[in-house]
Amino acid sequence: MDNGVADLERDRSRLGRSSTAERVADILRDRISEGFFEPGQRLSEEAISEALGVSRNTLREAFRLLGHERLLDHRLNRGVFVRILSAEDVADLYRVRRVIEGAAVRRSPTPQALGLIKEAVADAERAAARDDWRAVGTANIRFHQALVTLNRSPRLDEAMRQLLAELRLVFHVMKNPRDFHEPFVERNRRLLELLEGGRVDEAAAFLDGYLDHAERLLVHAYDPDA
Amino acid sequence: MDNGVADLERDRSRLGRSSTAERVADILRDRISEGFFEPGQRLSEEAISEALGVSRNTLREAFRLLGHERLLDHRLNRGVFVRILSAEDVADLYRVRRVIEGAAVRRSPTPQALGLIKEAVADAERAAARDDWRAVGTANIRFHQALVTLNRSPRLDEAMRQLLAELRLVFHVMKNPRDFHEPFVERNRRLLELLEGGRVDEAAAFLDGYLDHAERLLVHAYDPDA
DNA sequence: ACATAGGAATCGTTGAACAATTCGACAAGA
DNA sequence: TCTTGTCGAATTGTTCAACGATTCCTATGT
């Protein structure tokens, strides 16, 4: 039973600041979103607490945290599992994105937020130029995160952060990252231009089409018979 | 040190189903939102675990849950405190409401959702007729919760639930519940009519004014010099 | 093949213990 | 008097060991 769990021991070095439970949660969150733990996989309390060198109680506090973020599925007396998103979950995540990002593009952009967005677009383009599609994906995520800051709401920022973490759970099903990320590099640039030009309605409409497309790609790869 | 903690012991009867930690969280959540615990008050691990008859470890799991819901403020090595919302927090909560509820009213209403909304409006009117302003407040909250269901997104429903729980932390500062709740009974009815009439833009504009007003009332009572 | 009864493994929860940290009190010194 | 430093009590952070409860697997018997 060392489903890559032994490997975790290297992360013990990261333990040393703030609350242990939170640091454990940070580590597990990273591992989950990078696909190190696969959706559906059970996370054994004993194995992980031993691998990270923390007590079961502390680990359980971390599990609660991640469960609340919907990254883990906590089933009573059965343990915690890496969350498996249904097609309906994906649809719901995109519903939320349309609401939050849609509201964002309708606001008058601040120079600061625009700077972040620009940077993300440029990063994505650079990564695409060198065929690093993993980096493109990361930059695209940063793009949307930056987009949401237009709302100037810490809570919406946080909600978006969680939403994207959840979405990463399903990004890994895309066998070919290029197909999934490439089409959006150009679109991000276009959306940025619309924002800079203050063409709010066009930007909103463009974003809707954008999200529709992304959702379709994802749901198709995820659940081919849908 | 029995800041009403002794009273908690009656809630022990509610322990008996599902996970203990979650049930403890339920109890504390209720107590907080009903104002039994005041914002800023420290919740002693020892006192509460003893009062509820659960171990400290279990109680701490419950604390983590509520901390993540922003109802508790967890300060390292100092304990957990009932959250104190700043005026800026209130403003942010209303920003989120404008986004989520604004998106809701722009969607074509389903008969089911409309039914829930109607019910909430009627309840509020009945409660107002008998001068029960506490009940009016509850019905008004239900009204907005129902409004959000128009989005047909479980995650937005959940986000709204949390948001309203957080908002309840500050509702208690309103010394006179009538002043705060009465003006909105009529407005809820009006908003319902606009929705039924399919007058989307008017409904959206009306809602914005609605939320502006509510926020102003709240911030004023909360932070008189703002 | 199928139901069932163990039995092993794991979770849920507790209670005790100890280290780490905070905070107030109090004393020493400027 | 005010500041600073130190001590000690109180509380949190974390671990550990234990045990009942639940789930899952497997072997047994029909």
Q: Indicate the SS3 state at residue A21.
A: helix
Both A149 and A192 in one domain: the answer is yes
Both B58 and B123 in one domain: the answer is no
Report CA(A84)–C1'(C27) in Å, whole number: 62
Residue B19 scores a pLDDT above 60:
yes
Both B48 and B129 in one domain: the answer is no
CA distance B147 to chain A (A): 15
Closest residue of chain B to A63, computed from CA coordinates: B61
Pick from A155, A166, A167, A215 the residue to mutate for testing the B interface (most B CBs within 10 Å). A155
Tokens of A162: 């969680």
Q: Please, which pLDDT band fits residue B6 given cuts at 50, 70 and 90?
A: very low
Q: Which tens digits make up the pLDDT trace of A187-202?
A: 999 999 999 999 999 9
Distance, CA of A77 to CA of B114 (rounded, Å): 39
Residue B182 domain-assigned (yes or no): yes
Indicate the DSSP class of residue A110.
P
Q: Give the number of domains in chain B.
A: 2
A77 CB and strand C closer than 7 A? yes
Task: Give the closest residue to A59 by CA, choosing from B61, B76, B44, B79.
Answer: B61
Q: Please, which pLDDT band fits residue B224 given cuts at 50, 70 and 90?
A: low
B77 CB and strand D closer than 7 A? yes
Report CA(B29)–C1'(D27) in Å, whole number: 48
Q: Which residues of chain A carry a pLDDT beneath 70?
A: 1-17, 223-226
Range of the domain at B47: 6-82
Report CA(B88)–C1'(D2) in Å, whole number: 37
Distance, CA of A92 to CA of A102 (rounded, Å): 15
Both A152 and A101 in one domain: the answer is yes
Distance, CA of A1 to CA of A85 (rounded, Å): 25
Average pLDDT, chain B: 88
A102 neighbourhood in chain B, CB within 8 Å: 103
Q: What proportion of chain B, given as a percentage, has pLDDT over 70?
A: 91
B69 neighbourhood in chain A, CB within 8 Å: 68
Residue A1 domain-assigned (yes or no): no
Q: What nucleotide is nearest A59 when CA is compared to C1'?
A: D14
Q: Which tens digits make up the pLDDT trace of B33-69?
A: 888 999 999 999 999 999 999 999 999 989 988 999 9
B145 CB and strand C closer than 7 A? no
Tokens of B90: 């209130």
Flag whether residue B162 sits within 8 Å of chain A, measured between CB atoms.
no
Both A198 and A181 in one domain: the answer is yes
Both A31 and A62 in one domain: the answer is yes
Instruction: Give every CB contact of residue B32 below 8 A, 6+ residues apart in sequence.
Output: B66, B71, B72, B82, B169
Residue B66 domain-assigned (yes or no): yes
Residue B147 scores a pLDDT above 50:
yes
Both A129 and A31 in one domain: the answer is no
Compute how many other C-beta atoms are within 10 angstroms of the C-beta atom of residue B145. Answer: 17
pLDDT, residue B125, reads 97
pLDDT, residue A9, reads 36
pLDDT, residue A20, reads 86
Q: What proportion of chain B, given as a percentage, has pLDDT over 90?
A: 75
**Paired strand residues for B81:** B42, B73
Domain edge (last residue) among B82, B114, B145: B82
**Paired strand residues for A82:** A72
Domain edge (last residue) among B54, B82, B110: B82
Task: Give the closest residue to A12 by CA, choosing from A43, A48, A39, A45.
Answer: A48
pLDDT, residue A189, reads 97
Task: Give the closest residue to A156 by CA, choosing from A96, A215, A66.
Answer: A96
A98 neighbourhood in chain B, CB within 8 Å: 103
Flag whether residue B3 sits within 8 Å of chain A, measured between CB atoms.
no
pLDDT, residue A15, reads 32
pLDDT, residue B223, reads 65
pLDDT, residue A127, reads 96
pLDDT, residue A73, reads 92
Distance, CA of B167 to CA of B169 (rounded, Å): 5
The phi and psi torsions of A188 (rounded to 5 degrees) equal -60, -45
Distance, CA of A219 to CA of A209 (rounded, Å): 15
Determine the distance from the C-alpha atom of residue A171 to the mean position of all C-alpha atoms in its chain, rounded to a whole number: 8
Q: Which amino acid is at A216?
A: R
Flag whether residue B66 sits within 8 Å of chain A, measured between CB atoms.
no
**Alpha-helical regions (H) of chain A:** 20-33, 45-52, 56-68, 87-105, 111-129, 133-148, 154-171, 177-196, 200-222
Residue B12 scores a pLDDT above 90:
no
Report CA(B52)–C1'(C15) in Å, whole number: 15
CATH code, domain with B169: 1.20.120.530
Residue A211 domain-assigned (yes or no): yes
